[in-house]
Amino acid sequence: MLVKAEVLAPAAEDELLLLGLGSPAPSPSLPSSAEEEEEEEAAGGRGLRRAEGKRRPGRSRGAPRAARTAETAQRIKRSRRLKANNRERNRMHNLNAALDALRDVLPTFPEDAKLTKIETLRFAHNYIWALTETLRLAGAARLGPDGAAGAGVPAEGSPSPASSWSGGAASPAPSASPYACTLSPASPAGSASDPEHWPGRFAPAPPLPRRCL
DNA sequence: TAGGCCATCTGGTCCT
DNA sequence: AGGACCAGATGGCCTA
């Protein structure tokens, strides 16, 4: 895939022309300037193209038709690419927005601590698990000691939420879970070493087998 | 300065 | 055909 290297050069070139599309600053979702960019593109707004000649690039009246169509095809291709880039950017922005929304409902300490993407996902996973577990236990407790089986006691030896939150050794993933992974940023397995360090960054998760997320 | 995280670009693949 | 999704590559910013 040496393509990349080659592709990037021209791409960088384009960037200069595209009004800082690939700007370093977390670009605020460029609305729908796609059209404009394309048009600018298609219209030959790319200044650097002139590199090829002092021969007056434009108005190439005498340009062979084949050359012109090739040029047009190139332009169309480029235009589509830009459009796709724009869509991809928006898609990622949406994804990030969803991730932010998820962060908002996850408790962190300090409050403004920002979880990374991977931390957010892992923590959400554990958080849901813990809440589920809490509900389950609460429900069981309500049935009374001699009520249903296992009242007040975690069924089949599954860990209590409390233990999971505080760094118990159990995995958040129920044993019956399809997950073979021990996801645990904040939880169980991972934090065995320091449950009290939840704050802020949550205990680092142990290395996960691929495909765990 | 190395390493982590992130945004963006890009080409490929799948889906409608 | 065009859009959505994905994964790899690249470069910038930040922190230990």
What does the domain layout of chain A look like in residue ranges?
70-140
At which residue do the structure tokens 């960088």 appear? A12
Residue A80, CA: closest nucleotide via C1'?
Answer: C2
- A142 CA vs B14 C1’ separation (Å): 50
For residue A109, is pLDDT > 70? yes
pLDDT of A154: 37
For residue A99, is pLDDT > 50? yes
CATH number assigned to the domain with residue range A70-140, chosen from the 4 options 2.60.40, 1.25.60, 3.40.50, 4.10.280: 4.10.280
Strand B contact at CB of residue A26, distance < 7 A: yes
Strand C contact at CB of residue A4, distance < 7 A: yes
Residue pLDDT, tens place only, A193-203: 333 233 333 44
For residue A85, is pLDDT > 80? yes
Strand B contact at CB of residue A205, distance < 7 A: no
pLDDT of A137: 95
Strand B contact at CB of residue A19, distance < 7 A: no
Residue pLDDT, tens place only, A121-168: 999 999 999 999 999 999 888 887 654 443 333 333 343 333 333 333
The span from the CA of A180 to the CA of A174, in Å, is 10
For residue A58, is pLDDT > 80? no
Residue A24, CA: closest nucleotide via C1'?
Answer: C12
User: How long a stretch of residues is chain A?
Assistant: 213
pTM over 0.95: no
- For A23, residues 6+ apart whose C-beta sits below 8 A from its C-beta are none
What's the mean pLDDT when you consider all of chain A? 55
- A186 CA vs B6 C1’ separation (Å): 22
Instruction: Show the beta-strand stretches assigned E in chain A.
Output: none
pLDDT of A62: 59
Strand C contact at CB of residue A5, distance < 7 A: yes
